[in-house]
Structures are given as C-alpha cells and as structure tokens.
Amino acid sequence: MFDQLFNCAETVVRHRSSPLPDARIRFLQHCQAVGSPRGTLRRKAHELLVIIDQMNLGAEGAIRSKDIEAAALRWAYRQPSHYKLKNAEKARKHFVRVARQWFKFLGRLETPPPPKYQHFIKEFAAYMDAEKGLSPLTIRSECGHVGRFLGRHCTDGRQLAAISIRQIDQAIAQKASQDHCTRTSIKFYANSLRAFFRYAEAQNWCRPGLAAAIMAPTIYQHELIPFGPTWEVVQKLLGSTAGDRAVDIRDRAILMLLAVYGLRSEEVRGLQLEDLDWDRELINIGRPKPRKIQQYPLASTVGDAILRYLREVRLRHPSHHVFLTLRAPYSPLSSSSIWKAVSDRLRPLTCSIRHYGPHSLRHACATHLLSQGLSMKEIGDHLGHRSAESTCTYAKVDFAGLREVAEFDLGGLL
C-alpha cells in the first residue's frame, strides 16, 4: 500500500516500520474504496503517524474522546510552532476529526454511556411512530427538542419526576432571550415539550399537570404565511448554475428538483439511483410525511440536468444516493450542504424574503402553480400534502388574484 502512495523509498520504509502498520493500511484502503484520491491518502498516511506519536498509541485498548482532545491541543499549540501552521485552532479540529474517524473505523473509540434520560426519548419516539404515525423527520425534530431540554435539566442526578413548570417556562423563554429564535420556532419547541410531557404524565414519569400548564407564544394571523422568491428570481437562480464547474452542474440538478417539483430537502437527499426510471421517463419520490412513494413524469430539463451530473461529475461509488459530496471521502449530502447550495446562490440576488433555504423554493413552486391557474387540490397533490389545509395557506399570497378582486367594478353597490 505504501509503495503505491509514495515514490521515495525512504518514506515507504518509514511508514512500514512505524507502529500499527496493519491498522493504518486497513484504514487507508477503506478511504481509497470510498473514493479518496492518491493525494488525500498520502496526507492521511502522514497524519496517522502524527496521531500515533502524539497519543503514544498502543496496539490495543479503547481510546477516550478527552484523550484525543488533549493530544490535539498539545500538537496544534506546540512551541515552537511549525512554519507552515497558519491556524492552530483549525489544525486542532482537523486532528480530532481524523483521529475519531480512524479509531471509530478500528472499533477502538470509546463511546460514552447514553444519558439516563435516553430511554424516555426512545419510548416517546416509538409512541409517535406506532400510535400517532408521524414521519421520521417529524419524530427526529420532536425528539431533538426534548433531548436538548432534558440534557439541561436532567443531569447531575436530577430526575424527570422533579421537573417543574417553572423550569419548562424558563427553557421556553431562553429560546427567545439567548437563542434568539422566532415566535414560530418557540411555538414548535413548546408544542414538542407539551406532547412529551403529556405522554410522560400518562406513563407516570413526571408530576401531573405539566403539559396543560405549558404556554406557547401567540402566532399572528399572517405570521405563518409562506414566502418564497418570485419565479423570475428562481430563473436567475438557475442561471447562476450555467457553467462547467462540477459544483454548478450538481447544484443545477438539485435546484431544479427543488423548484420544479417543490421537493423538501430531505426528499432530495434521499433520492436513490433506482428512483430514476429513464425508460419510462419517471421519477419516484419518497415522501417522508405521507410515508408513500409519489411518481412524477421526469421533465426533460430536469432529466437532462441530472443526467449531466451523473455522467460528468458523480464518481462511481457504492452508495445509491444520487447526490454526493464533491470531495473525498465521498458521502451523501447532508441537510446543511443542500441548504448552503441554495442560500449561497439566492442571497446575492437581493430578493426580500425571510428565508433563503431550500424550503423557500418549495414555496416558490406552489405560488407559481397557483398563478398558473392550478386548483388547490392539484397543487396539494403536486407538493405531496396530506391535508388540504396545508395547501390553502398559499391562497393568502396570491396577490395578483387579490388585486383583481380589489379592482373589480362593483357597479355602484358601494
């Protein structure tokens, strides 16, 4: 392996004679299998030697996260510093990231015991899945809110049974004062806590009456009206991807899926190669909320964008996800990656909208379909809404239709 990476015979001998050669080779072969190029593998091989040296690593035993952090701190802030070291904090984080990847691959990374309140969250998640039929996305969001609350108030031996309404009110107020969340986000947070404590009361985990006492902020009538960029801005957004760069080719396919089909970020992330039926020109979308597969005709422009990405950019990779990162180690895109792909291109267009993430293109799609004369039922079916009430909110932003009503000649009735 080392003689394939390095041309210098002395370098090959040094890597072969250093401690844990088998463990290093197995990790490098794994990185190579997921698409890491030769230059990245050479760099990782050197970094593994640094990790072994700084941690005085042996052949066996679990490695604690705090030992990795301590070694990274010593190495990044050593004196005198290396002449190539420009950012010590960035180097420290990189040391930690590579070390954790390696030790996790070897099965030697010590995982901390789960918090004592973790079983409450697991049971609550199972209840939401089996009894309420909520989507995995909603369950993950609800459990995230509950987990962060319990992480603050059920530590140091404190029990869920001792939680008071005062602590819950303080946590909700903190979302505004310290976390600077909007009223809408705070309301969702409060609703998550209310749902959890309602279930906790039924299981006798906590004192009764907590759920009923949780107060959420008031949401005004037009506060939740969805706003997205105009269709002209969407056209400019797609125009920003005109080019031959790999990132432009990939982002164009992503943006077209978001704008044309009104997909959620999670649905784009989950798109699989087998979901594209090229023979019948169909695309199958896994809807996380209705928990069903929805089939669309594959528009030629969207199909061309995806096909160009698959042919020119996407490397052959074991993963069946359509969209992968552009740098090694190649992996499916995260939510933040898709958010960044939209936001970085949408913000320079100076459109006055509240949010610049991928969901704004879903709103733009719905508003555009409404302006084209489609019915609420047709728009709801296109977006995969379970409830007609979700679609009806877009009627409030049909300003062109409202102007026609306002300008209608009432024939002297007023």
* CB 214 within 8 Å of CB 190: yes
Residue 392 has which token pair? 């009806």
pLDDT, position 405: 36
Beta bridge partners of 293: 286
Q: What is d(CA 310, CA 304) in angstroms, rounded to the nearest whole number?
A: 10
Q: Kindly name the residue from 153, 175, 359, 363 that is annotated as catalytic.
A: 359
* Backbone φ, ψ for residue 122 (5° rounding): -65, -45
Q: Kindly name the residue from 117, 189, 199, 394 that is annotated as catalytic.
A: 394
Q: What is the DSSP letter of 204?
A: T
Q: Kindly name the residue from 145, 289, 345, 368 that is annotated as catalytic.
A: 289
* Backbone φ, ψ for residue 353 (5° rounding): -130, 160
The answer to whether the pTM exceeds 0.85 is no
Task: Quickly count: other Cβ atoms within 10 Å of residue 93's Cβ.
Answer: 13
- Three-state SS for 18? coil
Q: What is d(CA 385, CA 377) in angstroms, rounded to the nearest whole number?
A: 9
Residue 380 has which token pair? 């709801």
What averages of pLDDT result for each successive group of 10 residues across the chain (414 residues)?
A: 87 90 90 82 91 85 89 88 81 91 90 83 92 85 91 72 89 85 86 94 91 82 64 89 91 92 89 92 82 86 92 85 84 89 87 80 85 80 71 55 42 42
Q: Kindly name the residue from 24, 264, 287, 314 that is annotated as catalytic.
A: 264
Domains of the chain: 2-106 (no CATH), 129-213 (1.10.150), 231-403 (1.10.443.10)
Question: Quick check: is 90 catalytic?
Answer: no
Q: What is the DSSP letter of 137?
A: H
pLDDT, position 217: 81
Question: Quick check: is 355 catalytic?
Answer: no
Element housing 297 (H / E): strand 292-297
Question: Quick check: is 377 catalytic?
Answer: no
CA distances in angstroms from 320 to 76, 202, 275, 317, listed in the order given: 38, 42, 10, 8
Q: What is the DSSP letter of 315?
A: P
Question: Quick check: is 14 catalytic?
Answer: no
Beta bridge partners of 353: none
Q: Kindly name the residue from 175, 362, 368, 382 that is annotated as catalytic.
A: 362
